[in-house]
Amino acid sequence: MKILVAVKRVIDAEVKVRVKADHTGVDDANVKMSMNPFCEIAIEEAVRLKEKGVASEIVAVSIGPAKAQETLRTTLALGADRAILIESDKNIESLAVAQILKNIVDEEQPQLVILGKQSIDSDNNQTGQMLAALLDWPQATFASELNVEEGCATVVREIDGGLETLKVTLPAVITTDLRLNEPRFASLPNIMKAKRKPLDIRPVSETGVDVSPHLDILSVEPPPTREAGIKVETVAELVDKLKNEAKVI
């Protein structure tokens, strides 16, 4: 079975994000970039399926600038067999990403597509669902447990009321949640081996997908600075401030 895993290069989760002076977006100049955490979970799950003998090949795909090769090399070091980079310096919206991924799925013919449920930069949580719709494949989102056997995938997913178990026939699209697994670290020997694994780079123009934006960002603002807290001496003083100043009771 072939698994296709989509990954994204984003600002590292530990970096304090700063807004550009003109408020047109986030300043990513000289900022540490990493693989999206949910994408790390997706590639880890694909590798585990391969280790179980369920999958025979893992293909990692990313859409982004030339520097996204670093992210794909990481997936190769973690266990992917080969990688494809659709190179674009533009910020591509979710629908165009899903359309590009559909073209790759049509070409590669995987039996399973695994994506992170969302990226931590745009937080849209759309690409997996849109891709499933374009492919007309079953989907299971927010997976916290995944089991693949006999042409079906059983997915436990987290919902507001607890846990829900779904069974979908393959081929299918799965999006990963935080509790699905704990991603491993790439070992030095595997990092060296990854340099020799195939990485196919294609310009986004070859996909035939219109990547022009449909949304205009009017302004990006940082969150307001939180005021410092105060200490109170008695419960009565606390109640008074909650009632008369904060007005929450």
Confidence check: pLDDT of 247 > 90:
no
Confidence check: pLDDT of 222 > 90:
no
> Which among 90, 185, 175 is positioned nearest to 127, based on CA atoms?
175
Say which residue the tokens 């590292």 belong to: 12
pLDDT, position 72? 97
Token pair in block for residue 246: 């904060």
Q: What is the DSSP letter of 120?
A: T
Give CA 61 to chain center in angstroms. Answer: 12
Confidence check: pLDDT of 161 > 90:
no
Higher-pLDDT residue of 160 and 142 is 142
Residue 164 CA to residue 157 CA, distance in Å, equals: 5
59-97 burial code (b ≥16 CB/10 A, e <16): bbbbbbeeebbebbbbbbbbbbbbbbbbbbeeebbbbbb
The domain made up of 2-218 is a member of CATH 3.40.50.620: yes
Token pair in block for residue 203: 């310009």
pLDDT, position 78? 96
Q: What is the mean pLDDT of residues 188-217?
A: 93
Rg (CA), the chain: 21
Residue 75 CA to residue 49 CA, distance in Å, equals: 15
pLDDT, position 54? 94
Say which residue the tokens 């997706």 belong to: 42
Q: Positive or negative CA dihedral for 155, 160, 163, 165?
A: negative
